[in-house]
Structure 1
Amino acid sequence: MNAAVPAPSGAPQVATSDQIRVMVVDDAVVVRSLLSRWIEETPDLRLVAALRNGREAIEQLDRTRPDVVVLDIEMPELDGISTLPRLLERRRDLIVIMASALTRDHAEVTLKALSLGAADYIPKPTGEGGVMTSVAFQRDLIAKIQALGHRKRSRPPLPPYARRTTYAATRRLGGAVQRAVKWRTADADETVSGQLKLRPFAPVPPRVLLIGSSTGGPQALTKIVSHLDAVTDTAPVLVTQHMPPTFTTILAEHLSRTGARPVREAIDGEPVLAGTIYLAPGGKHMRVARRDGTAMIVLDDGPPVHFCKPAVDPLFASAAEVWGSWNLAVILTGMGTDGTDGAAAIAAAGGSVIAQDEATSVVWGMPGSAVHAGVCSAVLPLDQIAPKVVRMFLGAKP
């Protein structure tokens, strides 16, 4: 049985209590060793085990006590999708990142893993060298482990019976609204106060819905899209989710099964019409442009934005130019700051922006960045976003 891989010679890792404890589970010895080395070379991470299959991961779980598990999908004896629920059954707060090849079969299994409780996934690069030569793969893997691991340690997830209630004392400051916000949970009589600078909503009902998401996005989108039928009856919906090719194809198929309206990858040059949810295809930025008075989809093969392709900013910024105050943008859970600049453009054009709150976000990077930039009109838990959106499109006052 494989145990933890020792630290590189000449660079021993000194364990500290604030390090994120990481378990790597992959049957390929080269990949397992490479991921282990990257983790051990990162000061705030600690490798506690490097194992070759799910059976070993389950056996070692209690002894090694990882915060984060990087779990391969295809392994002998017990594969990743069979291992995942067994790990989470024993450790409900465990963060699991699925490692997946860029194939249709793996994309389907990965989305299933996310629905079963995996926090995120990392696509393995293909081609000559693959994992061994991909700087982007190393950067993304370490960033995901750090973001998810530190969130777990600093803010453990609220239990199911916890509730957040927002009380707002409002006063206008110039063009914005300043609100004192308090959060209370039902399991502990604790109150945390802070200041959020929120903008007023646009005075007219929106006519276009834009959604941007990343880490945790597929799970969040599944919950939101299933409640948007009243919106899609009269308005187009455009979604950018940070995902590679093939994965967005499977995501579109999955989301189509959750609501009455079709969800599909956008096609370059097609008109934007009500009744369809357009998903940015992996590997392309999705923008909109007006041609002969009609809003059209434009797929852009330009360089990544915020290391992402597709990115949210190109969609939001182009929509601000085309539709102005008709836009309602929603920024869901995700790492990084993508979406903030585009949200600022939407706000400047008279549109409105809603951000998912921290408590229900897998990672409060993208929505948190937009909130702190002062471009949002509301910060809501995930289960309150779709009802709010529907009310706004039906003409209810904000």
Structure 2
Amino acid sequence: MAVKVLVVDDSSFFRRRVSEIINADPRLEVIGSAVNGKEAVELTRKLQPDVITMDIEMPVMDGITAVREIMQQTPTPILMFSSLTHEGAKATLDALDAGALDFLPKKFEDIARNRDEAVSLLQKRVGELARKRLLMRRPARPAISAAAAPAADRDIRKPLAGHTSAATTAAPARPAARVARPAARFKASGKKYQLMAIGTSTGGPVALQKILTKLPANFPYPIVLIQHMPATFTAAFASRLNNLCKIGVKEAEDGDTLKPGMAYLAPGGQQMMLEGRPGAARLRILDGGDRMNYKPCVDVTFGSAAKVYHDKVLSMVLTGMGADGREGARMLKANGSTIWAQDEESCVVYGMPQAVAKAGISSEDLPLERIAERILVEIGMA
């Protein structure tokens, strides 16, 4: 069955263009279009699409408000189209905060090196996001009593499957009260670190925000962040994180000296490498290179971190399409560093983490909501 898509944009030309591209893939089908956010909310409720493509600036109701209402009423994977400006970046990040899962530049020539590649990328993004629909709309798992699921018997690296207790089935006339399942406890490995490194792509802005906002101001290591993102977006994203987090966050600049409690976001369109020695390492910001698929590239930064910090890196590969990060993570592991991957259920796209997990490189697969907790346990701050 084809993936059903609702196209939302106030431009008839852009609606037609996007619809033609989506319908050109036999696995995808445009089932409707809307000219503003209010109409998008109504059609989502009526047509139940698998994926929505959404413009940001529209009359009657803007895209961000529409995303927020759709996620409250009929949760659906949403792909935003954004202008590559500072204002467009801020609006797109607001849309992701509201619940959108991904974004693409509205000018197709900014998406990729040629039209065919841009068309393929849009089709692939829509197909990937459709996989999240069932997870977004499935009913909550039944409650389970603490006695029925002792934490010691659960492996935190796998999704926890709930079930109904005997007490619940014995009294159907009176619904049982929900009792929170105790979370499995983490244990520190005992390893010592001097750097934390995180690589991510699709779904990464929200994932990074959830993790970094939970870290204390006195976090003992510098952090390097590699997020696949256009050049005009990274400054706005770094500023947003800096305002939300207790740690400091900045867009990385050439020559930056790595400091504890500071996170450095690789600038879009360029590569970020580390040089020097632990305790006195610096960042090099280099030209992205025409032959590189990703700018910034997780493999590039992870590989350079392995050369400088050897076995002292705590690294994570989060949600994202493709396999960027696998080879860099392989280098980190070969040097004795630790690699974790985000688990499949909590990913927007289980591509990059899956590549690391399938290769046997990651030592733990973790749900997004508990990664910050796992970090603090591992470094002795919890």
TM-score by length of 2: 0.84
Aligned residue in 1 for 2:99 = 117
Query: Which secondary structure state, in structure 2, belongs to the residue aligned with residue 263 of structure 1?
Result: strand
Q: Distance in 1 between matches of 2:373 and 2:83?
A: 36
Aligned residue in 2 for 1:349 = 335
Q: Distance in 1 between matches of 2:156 and 2:87?
A: 48
Query: Which secondary structure state, in structure 1, belongs to the residue aligned with residue 311 of structure 2?
Result: helix
Structure 2 residue 8 is matched with structure 1 residue 32: no
The amino acid of 1:43's aligned partner reads P
The amino acid of 1:110's aligned partner reads T
The amino acid of 1:216's aligned partner reads G
Matches within 5 A, 1:133-172: 134-153=115-134, 155=135, 159=139
Aligned residue in 2 for 1:296 = 282
Distance 1:111-1:318 versus aligned 2 partners, 3 A rule: same
Q: Distance in 1 between matches of 2:131 and 2:10?
A: 27
The amino acid of 1:118's aligned partner reads A
Structure 2 residue 85 is matched with structure 1 residue 103: yes
Does the Cα contact within 8 Å between 2:31 and 2:49 map onto a contact in 1?
yes
Residue 316 of structure 1 deviates from its aligned partner by 0.6
Query: Which secondary structure state, in structure 2, belongs to the residue aligned with residue 50 of structure 1?
Result: strand
Residue 124 of structure 1 deviates from its aligned partner by 2.0
Residue 134 of structure 1 deviates from its aligned partner by 4.3
Aligned residue in 2 for 1:89 = 72
Q: Aligned-residue CA RMSD in angstroms?
A: 3.2
Q: Distance in 2 between matches of 1:166 and 1:143?
A: 41
Does the Cα contact within 8 Å between 1:212 and 1:240 map onto a contact in 2?
yes
Matches within 5 A, 1:1-398: 18-92=1-75, 94-125=76-107, 134-153=115-134, 155=135, 159=139, 183-186=159-162, 204-229=191-216, 233-290=219-276, 294-303=280-289, 307-394=293-380
The amino acid of 2:72's aligned partner reads E
Does the Cα contact within 8 Å between 1:347 and 1:375 map onto a contact in 2?
yes
Q: Distance in 2 between matches of 1:104 and 1:312?
A: 24
More strand by share: 1
Does the Cα contact within 8 Å between 1:166 and 1:183 map onto a contact in 2?
no
Residue 183 of structure 1 deviates from its aligned partner by 4.1
Q: Distance in 2 between matches of 1:368 and 1:261?
A: 29
Structure 1 unaligned blocks of 5 or more:
1-17, 170-178, 190-200
Size of the alignment, in residue pairs?
A: 357
Residue 372 of structure 1 deviates from its aligned partner by 0.8
Farther-moved stretch of structure 1 (61-70 vs 235-244): 61-70
Query: Which secondary structure state, in structure 2, belongs to the residue aligned with residue 184 of structure 1?
Result: coil
Aligned residue in 2 for 1:192 = none
Distance 1:383-1:86 versus aligned 2 partners, 3 A rule: closer
Residue 202 of structure 1 deviates from its aligned partner by 7.2
Query: Which secondary structure state, in structure 1, belongs to the residue aligned with residue 31 of structure 2?
Result: strand
Q: Distance in 2 between matches of 1:26 and 1:150?
A: 23
Residue 261 of structure 1 deviates from its aligned partner by 2.0
Farther-moved stretch of structure 1 (202-211 vs 352-361): 202-211
Residue 344 of structure 1 deviates from its aligned partner by 0.7
Identity %: 35
Does the Cα contact within 8 Å between 2:143 and 2:164 map onto a contact in 1?
no
Farther-moved stretch of structure 1 (281-290 vs 387-396): 387-396
The amino acid of 1:47's aligned partner reads V
Does the Cα contact within 8 Å between 2:108 and 2:118 map onto a contact in 1?
no
Q: Distance in 2 between matches of 1:96 and 1:386?
A: 26
Q: Distance in 2 between matches of 1:371 and 1:131?
A: 28
Q: Distance in 2 between matches of 1:368 and 1:97?
A: 22
Query: Which secondary structure state, in structure 2, belongs to the residue aligned with residue 246 of structure 1?
Result: helix
Residue 99 of structure 1 deviates from its aligned partner by 0.8
The amino acid of 1:259's aligned partner reads C
Does the Cα contact within 8 Å between 1:355 and 1:379 map onto a contact in 2?
yes
Q: Distance in 1 between matches of 2:316 and 2:143?
A: 22
Does the Cα contact within 8 Å between 1:202 and 1:351 map onto a contact in 2?
no
Aligned residue in 2 for 1:172 = none
Distance 1:65-1:260 versus aligned 2 partners, 3 A rule: closer
Residue 285 of structure 1 deviates from its aligned partner by 1.5
Farther-moved stretch of structure 1 (323-332 vs 133-142): 133-142
Structure 2 unaligned blocks of 5 or more:
166-187
Distance 1:182-1:270 versus aligned 2 partners, 3 A rule: closer
Distance 1:367-1:182 versus aligned 2 partners, 3 A rule: closer
TM-score by length of 1: 0.80
Give CA-to-partner distance per residue, 1:20-77, whole Å, 9 cap, x none: 1001111222221111111011011011113322233233234432110000011222
Distance 1:158-1:235 versus aligned 2 partners, 3 A rule: farther
Does the Cα contact within 8 Å between 2:158 and 2:365 map onto a contact in 1?
no
Q: Distance in 1 between matches of 2:261 and 2:64?
A: 35
